């Protein structure tokens, strides 16, 4: 790392402010990533991930068609129950 030379205290203050903001951004990114990890480790998401990865193998060529149709069928069924 090179040694920086400053000609005024204002430059030093500006550099410190930039470093402070960069630190806050890094902490926010870390917090966001930890939230993602926690969500991915929830049981429902683990099951969804395992089923999603094996679905094409199990269903073969019809897997994509069924995967696209399921949300529409789900909406249709819940609309019928709501009436």
Domain assignment present for residue 3? The answer is: no
Window from 18-22, 34-38, 55-59 with minimum mean pLDDT: 55-59
Domain assignment present for residue 2? The answer is: no
Domain assignment present for residue 33? The answer is: yes
Domain assignment present for residue 1? The answer is: no
For residues 46 and 17, the model is more confident at 17
Is residue 45 within 8 A of residue 39, CB to CB? The reply is yes
Domain assignment present for residue 21? The answer is: yes
What is the C-alpha separation between 68 and 56, in angstroms, rounded? 12
Average model confidence (pLDDT) across the chain: 83
Q: How many domains does the chain have?
A: 1
Q: Residue 60 sits in which domain range?
A: 9-82
Q: What is the pLDDT of residue 55?
A: 64
What is the C-alpha separation between 54 and 58, in angstroms, rounded? 6
Domain assignment present for residue 52? The answer is: yes
Q: What is the pLDDT of residue 59?
A: 67
What is the C-alpha separation between 38 and 27, in angstroms, rounded? 16
């Amino acid at each position: 790392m090179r040694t920086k030379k400053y000609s005024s205290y204002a430059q030093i203050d500006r550099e410190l402010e930039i470093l402070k903001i960069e630190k806050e951004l890094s902490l926010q990114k870390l917090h966001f990533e930890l939230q993602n990890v926690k969500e991915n480790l929830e049981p429902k998401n683990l099951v969804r991930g395992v089923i999603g990865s094996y679905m094409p193998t199990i269903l073969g060529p019809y897997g994509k068609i069924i995967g696209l149709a399921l949300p529409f069928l789900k909406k249709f069924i819940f609309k019928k129950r709501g009436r």
